[in-house]
Amino acid sequence: MKEYLKHDEWCIIEEGFNPENHKSSESIFSLGNGKMGHRANFEETYSGPTLQGSYVAGIYYPDKTRVGWWKNGYPEYFAKVLNSPNWIGIDVQIDGHYLDLYTCQTENFTRTLNMQEGYIQRSFIAILDAGKKIKVDVKRFISMADTENGAIRYSVTPINFEGKIAFTPYLDGDVVNEDSNYDEKFWNILEMEAHPGEAYLLSETKKLGFRAGFGMKIKAQLEGADVNITPEVMKKEGWVGNRIEKEIKEGECFTLDKIVGVTSSLNYDKTALLAATKKVTASGFAKGFDALFADHVKEWYKKWTHSDIKISGDIAAQQGIRFNIFHLHQTYTGEDERLNVGPKGFTGEKYGGSTYWDTEAYCIPFFISTAPSDVTRNLLIYRYKQLDKAIENAEKLGFKDGAALYPMVTMNGEECHNEWEITFEEIHRNGAIAFAIHNYIRHTNDNAYLAEYGLEVLVAISRFWAQRVNYSEARKQYVMLGVTGPNEYENNINNNWYTNKMAKWCLTYTAEAIEHVKQSNPEAFNTISKKINLDDTVEVAKWNDIASNMYFPHNDELNVFMQQDGFMDKDQTLVADLDPAQRPINQYWSWDRILRSCYIKQADTLQGIYVFEDEYDTETIKRNFDFYEPRTVHESSLSPCVHSILAAKIGKTEKAYEMYLRTSRLDIDDYNHEAHEGLHITSMAGTWMSIVEGFGGKRVYDGKLYLNPVIPAEWKEYAFRLTFLNNDLEVIVSSKQVEVVSHATDVIELSVYNELVKIEPGKSSIVKVK
Amino acid sequence: MKEYLKHDEWCIIEEGFNPENHKSSESIFSLGNGKMGHRANFEETYSGPTLQGSYVAGIYYPDKTRVGWWKNGYPEYFAKVLNSPNWIGIDVQIDGHYLDLYTCQTENFTRTLNMQEGYIQRSFIAILDAGKKIKVDVKRFISMADTENGAIRYSVTPINFEGKIAFTPYLDGDVVNEDSNYDEKFWNILEMEAHPGEAYLLSETKKLGFRAGFGMKIKAQLEGADVNITPEVMKKEGWVGNRIEKEIKEGECFTLDKIVGVTSSLNYDKTALLAATKKVTASGFAKGFDALFADHVKEWYKKWTHSDIKISGDIAAQQGIRFNIFHLHQTYTGEDERLNVGPKGFTGEKYGGSTYWDTEAYCIPFFISTAPSDVTRNLLIYRYKQLDKAIENAEKLGFKDGAALYPMVTMNGEECHNEWEITFEEIHRNGAIAFAIHNYIRHTNDNAYLAEYGLEVLVAISRFWAQRVNYSEARKQYVMLGVTGPNEYENNINNNWYTNKMAKWCLTYTAEAIEHVKQSNPEAFNTISKKINLDDTVEVAKWNDIASNMYFPHNDELNVFMQQDGFMDKDQTLVADLDPAQRPINQYWSWDRILRSCYIKQADTLQGIYVFEDEYDTETIKRNFDFYEPRTVHESSLSPCVHSILAAKIGKTEKAYEMYLRTSRLDIDDYNHEAHEGLHITSMAGTWMSIVEGFGGKRVYDGKLYLNPVIPAEWKEYAFRLTFLNNDLEVIVSSKQVEVVSHATDVIELSVYNELVKIEPGKSSIVKVK
């Protein structure tokens, strides 16, 4: 853990500059608006350790893959989240010397991420070589309103001298990915233009031909008043910019506004991209820094209105949840069905590819309750559109007859991952994708979705499961061999309880979905049946047979479900008895030692109990929680939230709180020593879940909303917003009462502590805490 | 399979040139003398598909490793068998045009590998562009007598024209490895010299600083008489040579002798290497092609005297066994304890690293019976000298207190392999290394070896097993989790019967070895005990406890040992019922499909039964053979030989013969479509085993030699030589009788068909076949 950031309700604040924390801060202070984003790299030269990262949504690179030993079925490429041309750059020279925070002294350094209004700000005094001091203030945002614009205001004030200050704002297309497999560059520069006061750069990826356009226009001010300096035009290899210089008196504030336009060939015809870039840059510039900022802030206030969670009495917890919600909004806005929620969003390169099962298992529960239903619908359609590729993927692995295996990691539907134990074996992802369809429908009643899109996906997934199991003559049951469960600290195991559970559920649910569409929309059903060659009698009978005769490992003595066959053969020393110096084990233990151990990376059997909680009584959940949690090292960001939810459910509120802090402050406090690589975006949705589903006890079964709130001892009160069946609710929980405020237009019915509550539009209802 | 080579008792013969077979032929016709070797690349320019390969024993390159996703414990590098400077090159020009078999027509093309005398010869008529025909004859060998010399005699005869013939003999240091991970070159050229009639090149590897020196001297002849042409001296980047040109009349034979010297910094002080190269080149040249060849052939006759196996009545079988023995001799001569038997020897790049468990499990049984005992002793000392690195390797993986895990693949004792399922899990290799010590001692009675070297290795290996197992509270027995057995088509399995068996044997044998050394050499024992901190009471007690309580999976219904836990959950469709179009499965199936299947790559449980055959009655062996062999796809070269041996043992002589052909002609007939990558050198020892241990029924137990010969119906007679306790025997088996001829100096006792036979020196004894 690393705790160098101040606790604050709405801001992340770093005081004093320490280069050792800089790469972590670059991640934590990242900005984005769903269309683009970047790490909090400095505008000016920085010669210290840094991970430069600027990203344009949907643009990726199919890097040549790198494996130790090729295995049949491996994908040819590993998609890389692509570091794109740097548009923030502004070199600063004072009397000819470059400002560089790695080499100069600083005083009063403060870096702030304002999450309420969505910007970063730095201010500091730099002490230069000859004892010259300058005050520097920088503010930067990527607009949530004008989504192709970003803006920077950079001010320098000489404190104890008069001298020449020069700004060199630029666009740099000569960028690299640190994780390039063969140290190759991924971009070609197509065009560069620079004129006094503006510059443009058009880049194209060397493969797939994605294009991105970058424009900048600049303006200088002295003491807040426009000042006319004709910029010098500059060009280097892959780099265009301007340079302005002026003699500045002691105490005078010299400011540069750099307004940027960023466009992508996802949104424009390729040939029109440069023109579009110029247009969007000009419109942003015409609006100006202050007006752009005002509109941007308005959008943020809207977002917070519908998704904020307020916690009183616990600033660390409050800061944590807002940090998570803030970054989720920055990563994905739900408007473009071609996009998805990358595990690191716009904050780092790691985990090439944008789409994991995280989307369905973690992000959809967040969006389905905080955003209009079409956001989730778009995420589901994303998978629907990639169904053909999932079928192709399954064919490559030897499956047939329209069986689909969705990829573990993908950009365009093709598998990108290349570890056999994940790529070929971590197949439970298929289950999450099916379950998300069910989850969407139960939150929206959009049953029509089944006929239009969902059923094809469900059938293809069920066909996969039906082929992936085999009948064990020895057990006289269906088994599923050679899988990796959510707990990736086990590979190639047999009968992972969670995966078997998911498979069984898929088969049953698909059979129900077929029946539903058949009844409700026979015409659509016939069309689908023909399209996908569905023999609903034979196939469904087979699925039912498998579902009824699926084998589930169980330990009768302990009366708990077994994560997999043979789990009890392992040494059962608990996590609490491990040497703390050996933690996290993934940084200290060899892979075989991890695999042989009983230690669990993230919820696995408990993930299944979380998903299918309604099937189990509290005692069963408790027994399994008490068995598995003490064996869990939580070395995946996706782990603590699920444990927090279950702990809250079974009355272990203290444990739930511990897990909540761990998930919500995972990156701020850098629990797993990896914040410098980027943030754990998808698990941030899990943080939201741990409050709303955990402490709030929100559930949806059979078209009905349930709340069973508890409150951690550390909190005075907490409040969250919730959308259910298009109704907007606000839930305020204190240690004494639960108040539900309706912002809906109809009368709302829900269950609080299993009591029916009806609320008129605009009214609220109060229930005592149980 | 690919059957383009003629059957012949002593030669491999290719008639007619087909570029499609050329890469396979380059492997099959490879030459070597233990110190160096090369693929049968052409001397002259060849623009078609080729794998250029020339290798100097003991010189390797630690190439930067390439993995999909880094895991703790992975080695930093993957050692590469290093393609070294090409010394065979002789460009041939006819009236200014290069001879290139890929672009010109040929007639009467014959390529021959003479295995009795150890050389390759090519003769053909090339039809050049203008209809000009030349006859070409080339003969090449690497001397077994003058082990730093190679020689080429290259003759060209214009058949239907008079014209200018030019030879350009050269040394080319600008070479690459095809398997370089990052397309880097591995050599620096340090010095190049060329003078009329000679040239020299000194190269150094970019890492580790191995040096190799290459020299050539040339001589021209016309119609067999020396002819004086002053060569033109030539130099290019990394390339030195000479050029001679002469107007040759129709029917005149123009010949170039190129005598080469090759030296290595393994054998000389680095600074003296160029001088040594000149010296060895000069001495080879002074001796001349014919005398070099005569001495070379003498050495080959000696080798054949002690190791030939004669088969009458079956040319394919005869050719097969000689091919295998020939290549084993070319790869390893047993004189240098720093060297080992690489799986591809000097015939290709694949499988970086020279030493696998193949050496102990396959090659030692061959050398221990066909070569002086110090050859095997050197192979054992090789591992003894690498014990420290094996202990370090185990420490990296979390083992302690002097436990050793020998690497899966190595050059210098460090692990080179980087697939976790092999590197960390295929640990049965430790068992093979321990068993080889036992095997050596039972064949030589060299019990002193234990005190001097063996015991330290055994203790370190037993310490490993004692930590690698864990006590299962559930089973109340010791289990071994997360291993890969010899059958690499299963990964990360629990309780691999073979590995558990090996571990148990090691623990027991080490305890016995301790007792033996303690009794026989108490002083040495005390020294060793102190050196390795051995507490023989506590440690041995622990080992005995583990050995007595080791868990072995068994299927009671079928009464067979189970390869691993859960094996019977798999679909049990037999290999015979697989679609032949899907074979070999490793070329058609995805890895997960292979892993889930019951198909076995190579003997696994049966490997254990082979090693510990004396513990099982024939019925048990038969039951297990009948269960496992029909599930075995034999996609490892190490598979058929073990099955052949067991089949012979249980009376399935036809099956044994089928497996014998498969192992002996694996590369000649290219069963697994991979001969072009190089030959399967180590499994060639297995071929020898399949005759001597299989058909011959040779066993050694308790210091006694047993023979139980059978003969395949296809053979009239077969004969092999055998060394046992330093006695040299010849065994001749026909369908009627077994004759054992003694070349020993003492009276020999052995058991034939379990009857005691005594033979006086120089006499023989005949037993009727049973």
Residue-wise pLDDT for A271-282, tens only, equals: 999 999 999 999
Residue B165 has pLDDT above 80, yes or no: yes
DSSP string of A128-179? -TTS-EEEEEEEEEE-SSSTTEEEEEEEEEESS--EEEEEEEEEE-----TT
Considering CB atoms only, which of B67, B72, B588 is closest to A590? Answer: B72
Distance (Å, whole) CA B35 – CA B58: 8
What is the least distance, in Å, from the CA of A73 to any CA of chain B?
5
| Model ipTM value | 0.92
Residue B682 has pLDDT above 80, yes or no: yes
Q: Which of A719, A720, A729 is nearest to A750 (CA)?
A: A729
Mean pLDDT (whole number) for B96-106: 96
Strands in A584-715 per DSSP E: 699-701, 704-707
Report residue A574 CA to chain centroid gap.
31
Cα dist from A559 to A477, A497, A613, whole Å:
20, 14, 17
Residue A418 has pLDDT above 90, yes or no: no
Burial of B488 (0-12, 13-18, 19+ CB in 10 A): buried
Mean pLDDT (whole number) for A211-234: 97
What is the least distance, in Å, from the CA of A660 to any CA of chain B?
29
In a 3-state reduction of DSSP, which class is residue A166?
Answer: strand
pLDDT the model gives residue A353: 66
Residue B740 has pLDDT above 70, yes or no: yes
Q: Which of B38, B258, B260 is nearest to B150 (CA)?
A: B260
Which of B78, B493, B569 should be substituted to probe chain A, the one whose Cβ sees the most A Cβ atoms within 10 Å? B569
pLDDT per residue over B234-284, tens digit each? 999 999 999 999 999 999 999 999 999 999 999 999 999 999 999 999 999
Mean pLDDT (whole number) for A200-212: 97
- Contact between B72 and A586 using a beta-carbon 8 Å cutoff: yes
DSSP string of B17-37? --HHHHHHHHHHT-EE-SSEE
Q: At what angle do helices B497-520 and B536-548 cross, to 10 degrees?
A: 150
Q: Which of B430, B491, B435, B490 is nearest to B465 (CA)?
A: B430
DSSP string of B354-406? SB-THIIIIIHHHHHHHS-HHHHHHHHHHHHHTHHHHHHHHHHTT--TT----
- Contact between B481 and A73 using a beta-carbon 8 Å cutoff: no
Residue type, B137: D
Mean pLDDT (whole number) for A102-129: 97
The β-bridge partners of B759 are: B748
Q: What is the DSSP letter of B415?
A: B
| Residue A141 · residue A247 · CB < 8 Å | no
Residue type, A676: H
The β-bridge partners of A107 are: A125
Distance (Å, whole) CA A700 – CA A54: 39
Cα dist from B441 to B384, B436, B449, B611, B744, whole Å:
15, 8, 8, 15, 19
Mean pLDDT (whole number) for B592-612: 98
Residue A685 has pLDDT above 90, yes or no: yes
pLDDT per residue over B38-73, tens digit each? 999 999 999 999 999 999 999 999 998 888 788 888
Q: How many CB atoms lie within 10 A of CB B2?
A: 14
Distance (Å, whole) CA B298 – CA A101: 77
Contacts of B20 (CB under 8 A, 6+ apart): none
Nearest 5 degrees, angle CA B409-CA B412-CA B418? 35
What is the least distance, in Å, from the CA of A683 to any CA of chain B?
21
Strands in B225-270 per DSSP E: 225-226, 232-236, 239-248, 254-264
Q: Is B73 on the interface with A (CB under 8 A)?
A: yes
Report residue A274 CA to chain centroid gap.
30
Q: Give the β-pairing of A748-752 and A704-707.
A: parallel
Distance (Å, whole) CA B519 – CA A35: 79
- Contact between B424 and A590 using a beta-carbon 8 Å cutoff: yes
Distance (Å, whole) CA B77 – CA B180: 12
Provide the pLDDT confidence category of residue B298 given band limits of 50, 70 and 90. very high
Distance (Å, whole) CA B95 – CA B164: 5
Residue that is written with structure tokens 């006086």 in the block: B760
| Residue A698 · residue A709 · CB < 8 Å | no
Considering CB atoms only, which of A471, A472, A569 is closest to B494? Answer: A569
What is the least distance, in Å, from the CA of B677 to any CA of chain A?
15
pLDDT the model gives residue B293: 98
- Contact between B494 and A595 using a beta-carbon 8 Å cutoff: no
B71 contacts in chain A (CB < 8 Å): 590-591
Distance (Å, whole) CA B146 – CA B280: 9
Residue of B nearest to A417 (CA): B68
Which of B591, B593, B601 should be substituted to probe chain A, the one whose Cβ sees the most A Cβ atoms within 10 Å? B591
Provide the pLDDT confidence category of residue B321 given band limits of 50, 70 and 90. very high
Residue B307 has pLDDT above 80, yes or no: yes
Structure tokens given for A130: 């000859």
Cα dist from A745 to A702, A726, B111, B270, whole Å:
22, 10, 91, 90
Sign of CA dihedral A489, A495, A497, A499: positive
Residue B415 has pLDDT above 70, yes or no: yes
First-to-last alpha carbon distance for chain B, in angstroms, is: 36
pTM of the model: 0.94
Residues 573-592 on A with a CB inside 8 Å of B are: 586-592
Which of A409, A500, A569 should be substituted to probe chain B, the one whose Cβ sees the most B Cβ atoms within 10 Å? A569
Residue of B nearest to A494 (CA): B566
Query: Which candidate in B148, B488, B490, B539 is catalytic?
Result: B488
pLDDT per residue over B203-227, tens digit each? 999 999 999 999 999 999 999 999 9
Mean pLDDT (whole number) for B526-536: 96
First-to-last alpha carbon distance for chain A, in angstroms, is: 36
pLDDT the model gives residue A65: 85
Distance (Å, whole) CA B444 – CA B291: 37
Residue of B nearest to A76 (CA): B68
pLDDT per residue over A337-376, tens digit each? 899 999 999 999 987 667 999 999 999 999 999 999 999 9
Q: What is the DSSP letter of B274?
A: H
| Residue B390 · residue B406 · CB < 8 Å | yes
| Percent of chain B as helix, strand, coil, to the nearest 5 | 35, 25, 40
Mean pLDDT (whole number) for A416-439: 96
Considering CB atoms only, which of B419, B482, B572 is closest to A68? Answer: B419
Mean pLDDT (whole number) for A688-717: 97
Report residue B248 CA to chain centroid gap.
44
A472 contacts in chain B (CB < 8 Å): 568-570
In a 3-state reduction of DSSP, which class is residue A620?
Answer: helix
Structure tokens given for A217: 């226009």
Distance (Å, whole) CA B461 – CA B456: 9
Q: How many CB atoms lie within 10 A of CB B185?
A: 13
Mean pLDDT (whole number) for A415-434: 95
Kindly report the backbone phi and psi dihedral angles of residue A177, in degrees, each rounded to the nearest multiple of 5, phi listed first: -95, 130
B419 contacts in chain A (CB < 8 Å): 68-69
Contacts of A293 (CB under 8 A, 6+ apart): A119, A141, A151
DSSP string of B624-645? HHHHHGGGB---STTHHHHHHH
Distance (Å, whole) CA A104 – CA A745: 59
| Residue A354 · residue A346 · CB < 8 Å | no
Residue that is written with structure tokens 């058609």 in the block: B588
B491 contacts in chain A (CB < 8 Å): 491-492
A479 contacts in chain B (CB < 8 Å): 569
Strands in A173-308 per DSSP E: 187-195, 198-205, 211-222, 225-226, 232-236, 239-248, 254-264
Structure tokens given for B618: 């024939």
Residue B130 has pLDDT above 90, yes or no: no
Residue B488 annotated to the active site: yes
Structure tokens given for A102: 């790695």
pLDDT per residue over A476-486, tens digit each? 999 999 999 99
pLDDT the model gives residue B79: 87
Mean pLDDT (whole number) for B17-41: 98
Kindly report the backbone phi and psi dihedral angles of residue B162, in degrees, each rounded to the nearest multiple of 5, phi listed first: -115, 135
Cα dist from B211 to A552, B269, B300, B412, whole Å:
61, 10, 29, 16
Cα dist from A408 to A65, A413, A436, B344, B761, whole Å:
15, 10, 16, 37, 71
| Residue B177 · residue B61 · CB < 8 Å | yes
Q: At what angle do helices B429-444 and B497-520 cross, to 10 degrees?
A: 40
- Contact between B470 and A570 using a beta-carbon 8 Å cutoff: yes
What average pLDDT does chain A have?
96
Nearest 5 degrees, angle CA A720-CA A632-CA B394? 145
Task: Determine the longest span between alpha carbons in chain B, in angstroms.
Answer: 89
